[in-house]
Each structure stands twice: as C-alpha cells, then as structure tokens.
Amino acid sequence: MITSVNRSLAEQIVNTIKDVCNHDINFIDCSGIILASTNPARIGTFHEIGLKAAQTGTSIEVTEDDSFSGTQKGINMYTILIIDDEPIVKIALRSILPWEEHGFSICGTASNGLEAMPLIQKHQPDVIITDLKMPEMDGLELIRTLKEKGYPGAILVLSNYEDFDSVRSALLLGAADYLLKIKIQPDNLLACLNKTTEKLQKKAGERSALNVNTSSNKTGLLLSFFQGEATLPAFLQAHSETDLSFMEKSCAICYVTFEKYLSNEAFSISGKLLCDMILDAVQGVLQPYILVLSDFSALVVFSQKELIISQVKVEQLIKKLYNRFTMYQSFAPDMPYQENLKNYEEARKIYQTFISNEGHYKDDVAKTLTYLEENYMHRLTLASISSNVNLSSSYLCRVFKSEVGTNITSYLNNLRIRKAATMIKEDKLSLKEISAMVGIEDQLYFSRLFKKCMGISPSEYGKRFHQ
C-alpha cells in the first residue's frame, strides 16, 4: 500500500494517465499545491478546487468557467508576453481583459525585443503580442530572431494606421495576425487570441506543455508566511515538498499602499491593476514575488542577489514604480522599502513595521506634503519649501526621502504632471495654459518632463482620451 507519493512517482502517474485519456493532468497535494503536471507551468501553483476536494473528501465537477482559482473548465492557460515601449499600452493590455477567465495568463511584459529575449527564453510564452516600432530591437527584428531560433508559439503585432508596410513584412516573416492599437477592444482582442490559439492547437495536435518556470508559482505560500506567525524554520519544514530555500537568503522589500486615500471618493484602484502596474515596472529587469494584500496594497519582495547581479538599486525601482502609479492615478502611493535583509523572516518583521506606520507620516513630512499640494502651481525651490515648513534643507531632504521613498524634486515634478494629466483628460485648456497652471512656465520643459514621467508626450496622452 502506497502511503505517500514523491514527485517522481507523481510525474509517472500523470504522464501515464495522459497517454490513456489524452488530456493534461494535475497531481495535487493535500494543501492544494500542484505537485506534478503534464503542463510544467502548473507545477507549484495553487489549485483551489483541488484543496476543496481534499478537505471534503468528495469529487467536484467543474462544468463552466467559475471563480475556482487554478481551474478553468479543464483547459490549461495559454501564456502571453506583451512587448511595447509605451508603458500606458502595456498596462492597458494587462487590464483590458479578465485574462484567466478566458484561459490566458500574462507571463511578463517588456519594452523592446532586446529586453524581451531573456523573458521569452525563460517563460516560452505561447503567444507574443508585440509592437513594431520600438528602440534597440524593433518588432520585425524580434520576429526574424525568433524565427531563426525556431520559436514554436504565435506572434501578434500591434500597429498604427501608417504601419501597414511593416505589418505586411511582419506577416511575411511569420506573424500570425495584427491588431490596430486604436481599435483594440476586449471583444476583438479575445477573438484574435482564440483564433490564434486554435491554430496552435491544430499545429501541435494538442496543447503543448511548454517549460515555464515562473516565480509567481509560490506566491500563495509566501502570502501565508507574511500574514502568519510561524518561524521560518517551522514554515520551511511544514512545506518541505516545495522548494522554498530562497526564503533563507538575503532580500529586499517594498510595501506599496494607497491606504491613506481610502476615504477619498475619487480614489479607485483594484488589486489586479495594482499588480499589473508593479509587474509592468519591474519585469524585464527583475522577477520579484508580488503579494497582493488587498485592493489597495501589495508587498514586493526582491532577491538581493538578483539586485546585485543586475546592478539595479532598489531606489531606482521605487522611482520607476512611483512613475507607473502616477501615470494612471492622481494619487501617489506610500512605498517604504528596505534592502539587505537577512532572510524572509527579517523581511516579515520590517513589513509588520511598515503596517504599523501605514497611512501616517512624521509631522515634518506631512506638513511638507500639505505645503506642496497647496503650492505646486507656484515657483518652488528647495530653499523656499524648507523655509516655509521651518526645517533645514538637509534635514528635510533626508527625512522626506526616507518617509516617502523619493526626493522632493521628483515628488513635486510628479505631482505637477499628475495635475496636468487630469487637466488634459478634461480637454478644456491648451497645453500652454496647463503648463503654466501647474507651475512650469517653459512649455518645452513641460513636454519633456511629461514624457519622462508618463512615457508619452502630452499631446499623445490627450489623443488617447479624445479620439
């Protein structure tokens, strides 16, 4: 009598069953974690209905797409990689569909072909959605490179009306289809994806079990650790069937929260959009664990070793995250962070400290933020700001950056651009008038700053809302 099943035996079982029934099979342990699967992408992920079946001792039939996490009417998720140099496009595509409800999963985003190559190699996405005009490596060069490497998936290209020559070239190189950016809607995007995946099925004879090893597989367990009280050794022992050895290594964390805005009726964000924005900012650079805590907060955990190898500073990532959020929201999050932590247990202690201070700034910083909010439209300097809040410039710079996660100049610039973006959406004033109203007299500098913060020019930003 078999009393326990190791991973090797589990793999033999699922592969044998698939040979008989010709369907992808999952082997799920009693905690709801997939131990083995004929689709390697599923290994280590959480399967809600599997856990429910284990707890109740009954079989549960899924007859329609529903809310069971990890379950989609017997079909495996097709993985999608999005490539575009405009952050607003990537985030919009992430948010345009409830992807998993339709059998798709976004495995990453990149800003150009060069940045995308290591992600493609790592995730082996089934479908790539790529822009054609991008810096460093454009869409056509990417398609040529992937064709040479024998990429088995499908490529969809994004284009504008004036890009049809490039679209034609992309189709000749092997792209499956194209989408006009200006006309992308949930229905036509989904129709295009379904047509594309049908072609993949016919080509392969069945859904290919691609070799995906994504860091998101263990987020369920990590969330339970950060929200629990078990010691790290005890937690690792309790989940010895899953490789969690990385939790013993040095890391960095960033706590992203909009808690202080919850009472503001104008504030609106979802946990999914929060996660999408974080993913867009960091993927292509690092592969952190993103733990969505609620509809207004998330914890991002970075490998310190990966930061060192990539020569990326946490401060740089915080700034990038800040810019992503302020691109879409008129509200800037708090983003306290800490690096060079010994292990995940130390990270949890720091996280708990962040929670205890959530939504609250030191009086000096709170006073400064209020002053900036009330006076951003005037000409401000560090000297004038520190003078008006009765603090020395050096002290103010130090405490502001420590509390807010960015320096005063960057915060003020982003504040002005957020205000400007809101005015552009309203479409009542000229760009010259808006520039002056947010305290930037030089319109050329305003345009450069806007593009730096938002990823696109103010005129292009306006077109997206007024076409």
Asked if the model's pLDDT at residue 390 lies above 50, the reply is yes
Tens of pLDDT along 447-457? 988 888 777 78
Least confident of 179-188, 238-247, 381-390: 179-188
Helix 314-328 × helix 87-95 angle, to 10°: 70
pLDDT at position 211 is: 31
pLDDT at position 22 is: 52
Instruction: Specify the 3-state DSSP secondary structure of 212.
Output: coil
Higher pLDDT, 271 or 187: 187
Tens of pLDDT along 430-453? 999 999 999 998 889 999 888 887
Give percent of the chain with pLDDT exceeding 90.
10
pLDDT at position 280 is: 72
Q: Which residues are bridge partners to 27 per DSSP?
A: 36
Higher pLDDT, 396 or 66: 396
- Name the CATH architecture for the domain at 363-466: Orthogonal Bundle (1.10)
Higher pLDDT, 310 or 388: 388
3-class SS letters over 172-201? HHCCCEEEEHHHCCHHHHHHHHHHHHHHHH
Asked if the model's pLDDT at residue 268 lies above 90, the reply is no
Fold observed for domain 78-204: Rossmann fold (3.40.50)
Alpha helices in 155-283 (DSSP H): 164-173, 186-204, 219-226, 232-238, 271-282
pLDDT at position 45 is: 65
pLDDT at position 249 is: 93
Higher pLDDT, 199 or 64: 199
The reported pTM is 0.43
What's the rounded mean pLDDT across residues 337-342?
90
Give residue 65's pLDDT band: very low, low, confident or very high (50, 70, 90).
Answer: very low
pLDDT at position 284 is: 61
Q: How far is CA 12 from the centre of its chain?
A: 35
pLDDT at position 251 is: 93
pLDDT at position 209 is: 34
User: For residue 40, what are the contacts with CB-CB under 8 A and spacing of at least 6?
Assistant: 209, 210, 211, 212, 213
pLDDT at position 451 is: 84
Asked if the model's pLDDT at residue 215 lies above 50, the reply is no
pLDDT at position 120 is: 87
Neighbouring CB atoms inside 10 A of 356's CB total 8
Instruction: Specify the 3-state DSSP secondary structure of 291.
Output: strand
Q: Where are the domains of the chain?
A: 1-74, 78-204, 215-356, 363-466
What's the rounded mean pLDDT across residues 221-245?
88
Tens of pLDDT along 73-101? 444 567 889 999 888 888 888 888 888 77
User: For residue 128, what are the contacts with CB-CB under 8 A and spacing of at least 6?
Assistant: 80, 81, 83, 116, 120, 146, 153, 154, 155, 156
Give percent of the chain with pLDDT exceeding 70.
77
Task: Tokens for 262, please give them.
Answer: 């919850």
Instruction: Specify the 3-state DSSP secondary structure of 266.
Output: coil
Asked if the model's pLDDT at residue 361 lies above 60, the reply is no
Spatial distance between the Cα atoms of 97 and 95, rounded to a whole number of angstroms:
6
Tens of pLDDT along 110-132? 888 888 888 888 888 889 999 88
**Gyration radius of the chain over CA positions:** 24
pLDDT at position 40 is: 64
Neighbouring CB atoms inside 10 A of 467's CB total 6
Instruction: Specify the 3-state DSSP secondary structure of 337.
Output: strand
| β pairing state of 154-159 and 127-131 | parallel
Q: State the average pLDDT for the chain.
A: 78
Spatial distance between the Cα atoms of 184 and 189, rounded to a whole number of angstroms:
6
Tens of pLDDT along 271-311? 777 777 777 777 666 778 888 888 788 899 999 988 888 78
Fold observed for domain 215-356: Alpha-Beta Plaits (3.30.70)
